[in-house]
Amino acid sequence: MQLLRSLAISTRLAIQSPWRKKQIQRMSERGEAPMSVLFYHRVADAPVNPWTISNREFQRHVDYCRDNFELISLEEVQRRLESGHSPRPSVTFTFDDGYSENCELALPLLIRHRIPCTYFVTTENVRHGHPFEHDLRLKHPLPINTVEQLKAAADSGIEIGLHTANHVDFNRVHTVEELNKEIVEAKSNLEEMIERPVRYLAVPFGLPEQMRPAVIETARKCGLIGICSAYGAYNLIGDDSFHIRRFHGDPEFNRFRNWLTYDNRKNLRRPTLPTEDVLNITPEVATKNRQPQLAFS
């Protein structure tokens, strides 16, 4: 089944390629080239979970992107969105969670080629070295990045970002206290760990239901300059530069190429984020946090 799906995608790409290339060329001429932001989790040769890509395939992804796109940072994505000018199709690399195996090939590869990358970690897993709950459920606890590894990566040019304190599902957060713990306090804790400013937040799961307005507003107010989703979308001129849209670096190479070969039908299907969602705050929590009127709006 997977082989048939891959062949179908490859065939569709071959048929649509001339049209897609013309579309991208026209967008580039208008200064509206698409900006693709990829996210990965774990690069390793033991595929013990669905969010792992092999070393060989990740190398293939990097080579493909180097050959076909301008490789830029999250900050440059924002700059282009704010200026209203994107001259060439671009790709940006990011990672979520914080698996220590990424230090074996993936990060050294990006560092060697001077490819910008933002690496998002959950502070409590790093602090205590605890495996992720999603790996424990699969009965495959995996090693987590240490503070020393993060500092070394940052010293080599990798930007360290926040992935909350506990890989929280914001769709299940109902108080300001929880929100502050997972974003505001976690940001401060991570800055102390790596002895550097933390500028970006990647929302765990990153679907529209987690991209709640108060999450975005809390990120703004505590000094973060951008927040990343993960529901699969391009960044296009006219988009809000604070919200950076990402899609998965799919281990199936044809699906990976299909996303990177801009398809406007995907853009037309991207969801609308929630605009109203009131927090359920008890008076005690509201008083403690001095935000009695805070709402997801």
Label residue 37 exposed, middle or buried (CB < 10 Å: 0-12, 13-18, 19+).
Answer: buried
Of 20, 289, 82, the closest CA to residue 181 belongs to: 289
- Is CATH 3.30.2350.10 the classification given to domain 24-289? no
User: pLDDT averaged over consecutive 10-residue blocks of the chain (297 residues)?
Assistant: 70 77 94 98 92 97 98 98 98 98 98 98 97 94 97 98 98 95 98 98 97 97 98 97 97 93 90 78 36 27
Report the pLDDT value the prediction gives residue 75, as an integer from 0 to 100. 98
Catalogue the E-assigned strands of the chain: 35-40, 42-43, 52-53, 70-71, 90-95, 117-121, 159-162, 200-202, 226-228, 243-244, 247-248
Report the pLDDT value the prediction gives residue 280, as an integer from 0 to 100. 53
Report the pLDDT value the prediction gives residue 16, as an integer from 0 to 100. 79
Residues 182-192 as b/e (b if ≥16 CB within 10 A, e otherwise) read: bbbebbebbbe
Contact 37, 94 (CB under 8 A): yes
Report the pLDDT value the prediction gives residue 183, as an integer from 0 to 100. 98
Q: Is the pTM of this model over 0.85?
A: yes
